[in-house]
Amino acid sequence: MTGSLIYKFIESLYKFPRSLTGDGVRQTLFKIKDEYIKNLSIYEIQTGEEVGDWIIPNEWNVKSAYVKDEKGKFIVNFKENNLHLVGYSQPVNKKISLKELNRHLYSLPELPGAIPYVTSYYKNTWGFCLTDNLRKSLKEENYHVYIDSSIKKGSLTYADLIIPGMQDEEIFFSTYICHPSIANNELSGPGLATFLAKWLNNRSNRFTYRFVFAPETIGAISYISNNLETLKNVHAAFNLTCVGDNHATSFLPSRKGDTITDKVARHVLENQKDNFKEYSFIKDRGSDERQYCSPGVDLPMVSIMRSKYGEYPEYHTSLDNMDFISPDGLDLSFQMHLECIEILENNYFYRSSILGEPFLSKRGKNYLNIGGVESKESQSSKLILDLMICCDGLLDIIDIANLLDQYAFELIPTFQSLEAEGLIEKSK
């Protein structure tokens, strides 16, 4: 099962100390390149470079960070869980009172057993995150606070992969690589992207495929800034995030809501066994679709998720861990995106190449129609005639499948067979 392979891959990346910039991002990308996608290209954008309305920040790296009590016992330790340290914390080495320490601590009273994920990319500060249970147990004494971090000129790292197809039109996948020790809202996206790319790399494709791995928001803006002209070739686009848990499926449409990606995604979701919840782009957007669907970029980008970001209690906490995701959840997400790809690859406008209905009986047992008897053969013949009556050159295979209350993914072999028989032809 592909989901099990994705799960093991995510597990191998889980403890890398990712952030907006830094060596944790590079570790993640180089592991993907070295072990999974050899033709992945990795890029660096230097501190201070302008990308859109943004400026690439200083690079942040951490060697060690902890809080100890007066007896030298660790209260929190970055090496045990990198969520313990507020992202982009400045270097600190001093002893402080509990009162002062509390001004730099973050916890969640509503989830007392969870460590929150907190960052401070653009403000000079420092802090630690811990469970609320642990925070309430701290005694009135002095604590040794130590953060061995560096914030200095460096670069932001991102990667892309281009898989050439027979057409220049592209299907685009984006995912982000900036959250530390978070499974569903971070690594499930890169995990799915990596295994979709591996699958596409090993076959011949109609479309060209582009995969982007970048830090959220500023990474996506950086990619757009450097590739805007090329992105005009994008035919369909998917944002990969929150695809690993076992909860109900979620759908976030594109800004326009009626693109080819919206159409194929809704069709696939409507033909799954489970119901799905559709969200509003205007009200509920929150990931990199904000950048790729923005005016002037206008990619037809959607997100097919399990639990949507921001909509589950474990979101942005230590509870979004390897126990929250599963091989089964990842496998279903892989299958849904694979079926979107296969439908898009075969989504042509067909028209009938004969006058009237075809004479199916002369075409052998596959088209046998026994008059007056309900059988598998007669049902098959009825479906063929129904398909052909819809092949007027104005409807694509998704339109036809929707009209006939069928699943386009399952109809692909029938369309291919009819075309091979010369009964239908692609509309120019």
Taking only the tens of pLDDT, the chain with its 428 residues reads: 899 999 999 999 999 999 999 999 999 999 999 999 999 999 999 999 999 999 999 999 999 999 999 999 999 999 999 999 999 999 999 999 999 999 999 999 999 999 999 999 988 999 999 999 999 999 999 999 999 999 999 999 999 999 999 999 999 999 999 999 999 999 999 999 999 999 999 999 999 999 999 999 999 999 999 999 999 999 999 999 999 999 989 999 999 999 999 999 999 999 987 889 999 999 999 999 999 999 999 999 999 999 999 999 999 999 999 999 999 999 999 999 999 999 999 999 999 998 888 877 676 655 544 344 444 555 678 888 999 999 999 999 999 999 999 999 999 999 999 999 899 999 86
pLDDT for the residue numbered 377: 52
pLDDT for the residue numbered 428: 67
pLDDT for the residue numbered 356: 80
pLDDT for the residue numbered 368: 46
**Three-state SS letters, the chain:** CHHHHHHHHHHHHCCCCCCCCCHHHHHHHHHHHHHCCCCCEEEEEECCCEECCEECCCEEEEEEEEEECCCCCEEEECCCCHHHECECCCCEEEEEEHHHHHCCEECCCCCCCCCECCECCCCCCCCEECCHHHHHHCCCCEEEEEEEEEEECCEEEEEEEEECCCCCCEEEEEEECCCCCCHHHHHHHHHHHHHHHHHHHCCCCCCEEEEEEECCCHHHHHHHHHHCCHHHHEEEEEECCCCCCCCCEEEECCCCCCCHHHHHHHHHHHCCCCCEEECCHHHHCCCCHHHHCCCCCCCCEEEEECCCCCCCCCCCECCCCCCCCCHHHHHHHHHHHHHHHHHHHCCCEEEECCCCCCCCHHHCHHHCCCCCCCCHHHHHHHHHHHHHHHCEEEEEHHHHHHHCCCCHHHHHHHHHHHHHCCCEEECC
pLDDT for the residue numbered 273: 77
